[in-house]
Structure 1
Amino acid sequence: MTVAQRPRMSWLNRFLPVWILVAMGVGLLLGRTMPGIGETLARLEVGGISLPITLGLLVMMYPPLAKVRYDKTRKIVADKRLMTVSIVLNWLVGPAFMFALAWFFLPDQPELRTGLIIVGLARCIAMVLVWSDLSCGDREATAVLVAINSVFQVLMFGLLGWFYLQVLPQWLGLGASEVEFSFWTIVSSVLVFLGVPLVAGALSRVVGENIKGRQWYETKFLPAISPLALLGLLYTIVLLFSLQGEHIAAQPTAVVRVAVPLLLYFVGMFAVSLVVSKLVGMNYAQSSSVSFTAAGNNFELAIAVSIGTFGSHSAQALAGTIGPMVEIPVLVGLVYVMLWLGPKLFPGDATVPAANREARVVRNA
């Protein structure tokens, strides 16, 4: 049985935290020195979806989805343990945890609190593919979990929004928020941010393997397109942070008050998901996929819903845009935590990335 190997890291991967910090800094600097950039980007929208940001997300998501072996997905869907744990963590634990954090840290800020709760309702369907890939998670499992999240997003987002913003606060004697969600905003987010790169990735594998064979596809084509994922990520970060440079400088207290519960949310969800995955007997790769899927959020949808419902300059929209500011550096850090913890939590697991870069073989006893 061959031990999973951590691939030799390119210079882009090796210094990823540095590039992300630089991208964040460049974005904030652009937002401060070019205050009109937000209005310019706002004009480049179709149906409430930012075309420049969409371009970055599509480029970012294409390589991970092109790497998926889609012939393995049926077996993953049949894994009831994996499916059940992921659905419970994403659609029961995650929103409830964010609701509790939002009310605990922002009891006197209803607008920021509402924006934070909306972030918790928007489950991840995009960047988790990058985090899972960097941590050597199960690509096929991640793709399936992302697809399931997308279906639940369309079916459950409005219902959960009504429950957590109106029903549950009233039950607990707290203030309720009147919010109506655009069904089209949710559907279009799923179709664009997942549907397009998913179809492109699947077609690439089918066409590539039929014409050149699987060996060429996985040893030549995939390594050639892999850097696009991180380049797309860095480009997206620059745009997101440039949009918020002016707002962040104008409302530093609000940023900090929202960032604290977000930090606790991402770390807490990751830790709980990893522990639960380990306890139910999942291997390293599956645990990584489940943990990053549960910890991440669909900030694109959260921002779109907040802006569409409350306006681009609302406190709710500000809370949504602070999400990626916290999520991206935290989850990058958790990628390294996962790689470091892997051999310790999963000794003898064949899916743990090898500590060295030599090919190693472990024989069954």
Structure 2
Amino acid sequence: MKRLSTLDRFLPVWIGAAMVAGVLLGRFVPGLQRVLDAVKVGDVSLPIALGLLLMMYPVLAKVRYDKLDTVTRDKRMVISSLVLNWLIGPALMFALAWLLLPDLPEYRTGLIIVGLARCIAMVIIWNDLARGDREAAAVLVALNSVFQVVMFGVLGWFYLQVLPGWLGLDTAALDVNVWSIAKSVLVFLGIPLLAGYLSRRLGEKAKGRQWYESKYLPKVGPVALYGLLFTIVVLFALQGHTITAKPWDVARIALPLLAYFTIMWAGSYALGKAIGLRYARTTTLAFTAAGNNFELAIAVAIGVFGVTSGQALAGVVGPLIEVPVLVALVYVSLWLRKRWSHSDAHITDPRPAGHVVDRHPPKQTRTPPQATHQCVPLVRTA
């Protein structure tokens, strides 16, 4: 934890402070929404759009896009990650949202959007703190980034319109425009993804990877959290009255999030152990499956439903719950690491990714050395 910057280490505190600052700003600065809406990008005010883009770019600039083949050879890990992230994760959040928020359609939709936004940001930090496989985490983040551009709109249509209809659930209180969701994803994920890819490629080509990762990334990295905190301030400035009048709603949003993070992490950890992954990659699998891209969820909720919507509020509550929960799970991982086999936890496997480890190698017989009576001459030196 000492390796984290002050901003990262106390992120829940800063988020709470941003919420308080937003509520106070909304109370003492009348006409704030009119000022923010003076210039718009599509349906989103320009200041908020810039904050959302700043949240996403530094995260995507960190991804090592040239490392895809180093982990994709490990079919067990890649297939497990895709199943957890794109089948089980969204389905679990959908079930929790409908079970625990059946009477709050806006918050329920916001949580489903959070479940569709797979983690590509803070997971790098949690993975490093828990001593997971850094290269594997980078590759899974890259895969999630690409999949989100392609699949987010499709899964949004399925979980917000198709599946509720199949199950006979009442969605009359909510009108969801799936094309608006797809457009928001393309703008608020597609543009930063392209910028992140080009900045890494051009930066490494011009000055090398060492300069890019030791000089450039530390400078732009904090921008993501500044953008997140700015967005939270604006959201709470515009929704402060609603939030202070309905604290029970915030508590109800937090409950399915808490259940989601815990179930996904524990289930992913058990799966990694069951399929024979080593500690480092099991840890990476668990954190990449449990975390969510709350930056994208907030961006989509604002772009589709508006900055004062219940969906946007549900997205903002996401990091407030996720950060302390996953920090706690880092400590759980390190505790489990001590109980893992010594070779799995402490030795880096030199074999290529995807190599199947023989857990029952044949016993080797040891031949005792033959006795010899060879005389060794004694050499005197001056």
TM range (shorter): 0.7 to 0.9
Match of 1:46 in 2: 41
Match of 1:150 in 2: 149
Kept after mapping to 2: 8 A contact 1:145/1:293: no
Kept after mapping to 2: 8 A contact 1:284/1:351: no
Read off the aligned partner of 1:105 and give its amino acid letter: L
260-269 or 55-64: bigger deviation: 260-269
Kept after mapping to 2: 8 A contact 1:274/1:290: no
**1:89 partnered with 2:65:** no
Deviation of 1:214 after TM superposition, in Å, equals: 1.7
- Any unmatched runs of 5+ in structure 2? 129-133, 351-382
Q: What is the alpha-carbon distance in structure 1 between the residues aligned to residue 293 and residue 47 of structure 2?
A: 27
**1:341 partnered with 2:336:** no
| SS of alignment partner, residue 4 of structure 2 | coil
Kept after mapping to 2: 8 A contact 1:98/1:117: no
280-289 or 199-208: bigger deviation: 280-289
Match of 2:315 in 1: 324
Kept after mapping to 1: 8 A contact 2:52/2:188: yes
Change over 3 Å in CA distance of 1:9–1:47 after alignment to 2: same
Q: What is the alpha-carbon distance in structure 2 between the residues aligned to residue 189 and residue 258 of structure 1?
A: 23
Match of 1:216 in 2: 211
Deviation of 1:37 after TM superposition, in Å, equals: 2.2
Read off the aligned partner of 1:186 and give its amino acid letter: I
Match of 1:23 in 2: 18
Q: What is the alpha-carbon distance in structure 2 between the residues aligned to residue 350 and residue 286 of structure 1?
A: 19
191-200 or 233-242: bigger deviation: 233-242
Q: What is the alpha-carbon distance in structure 1 between the residues aligned to residue 253 and residue 177 of structure 2?
A: 24
Q: Percent identity?
A: 39
When normalised by structure 2's length, the TM-score is 0.75
Q: What is the alpha-carbon distance in structure 1 between the residues aligned to residue 147 and residue 230 of structure 2?
A: 27
Q: What is the alpha-carbon distance in structure 1 between the residues aligned to residue 283 and residue 88 of structure 2?
A: 21
341-350 or 253-262: bigger deviation: 341-350
Read off the aligned partner of 2:329 and give its amino acid letter: M
Match of 1:252 in 2: 247
Q: What is the alpha-carbon distance in structure 2 between the residues aligned to residue 117 and residue 8 of structure 1?
A: 37
Match of 1:357 in 2: none
**1:188 partnered with 2:183:** yes
* Higher RCO (C-alpha under 8 Å, 6+ residues apart): 1
Kept after mapping to 2: 8 A contact 1:125/1:150: no
Match of 1:32 in 2: 27
Match of 2:366 in 1: none
Change over 3 Å in CA distance of 1:42–1:253 after alignment to 2: farther
What are the superposed Cα offsets for residues 62-111 of structure 1, whole Å, 9 maximum, x if unpaired? 2222222111124445554344334433443334333433443344x2xx
What are the superposed Cα offsets for residues 234-293 of structure 1, whole Å, 9 maximum, x if unpaired? 222222222221221233344444443343334433443444344432332343223214
Match of 1:164 in 2: 163
Change over 3 Å in CA distance of 1:113–1:247 after alignment to 2: same
Q: Which has the larger radius of gyration?
A: 2
Q: What is the alpha-carbon distance in structure 2 between the residues aligned to residue 119 and residue 186 of structure 1?
A: 14
Match of 1:113 in 2: 105
Match of 1:301 in 2: 300
Deviation of 1:202 after TM superposition, in Å, equals: 1.3
Kept after mapping to 2: 8 A contact 1:23/1:238: yes
75-84 or 46-55: bigger deviation: 75-84
Read off the aligned partner of 1:60 and give its amino acid letter: M
Deviation of 1:192 after TM superposition, in Å, equals: 1.8
Deviation of 1:56 after TM superposition, in Å, equals: 1.9
Match of 1:287 in 2: 286
Q: What is the alpha-carbon distance in structure 2 between the residues aligned to residue 299 and residue 80 of structure 1?
A: 32
Read off the aligned partner of 2:54 and give its amino acid letter: V
| SS of alignment partner, residue 120 of structure 2 | helix
- Over the aligned positions, Cα root-mean-square deviation in angstroms equals 3.4
Read off the aligned partner of 1:213 and give its amino acid letter: G
Deviation of 1:26 after TM superposition, in Å, equals: 0.9
What are the superposed Cα offsets for residues 196-226 of structure 1, whole Å, 9 maximum, x if unpaired? 1111111111111111122222222222222
Q: What is the alpha-carbon distance in structure 2 between the residues aligned to residue 233 and residue 339 of structure 1?
A: 22
What are the superposed Cα offsets for residues 118-161 of structure 1, whole Å, 9 maximum, x if unpaired? 531454548x3331122126123112113213311122321332
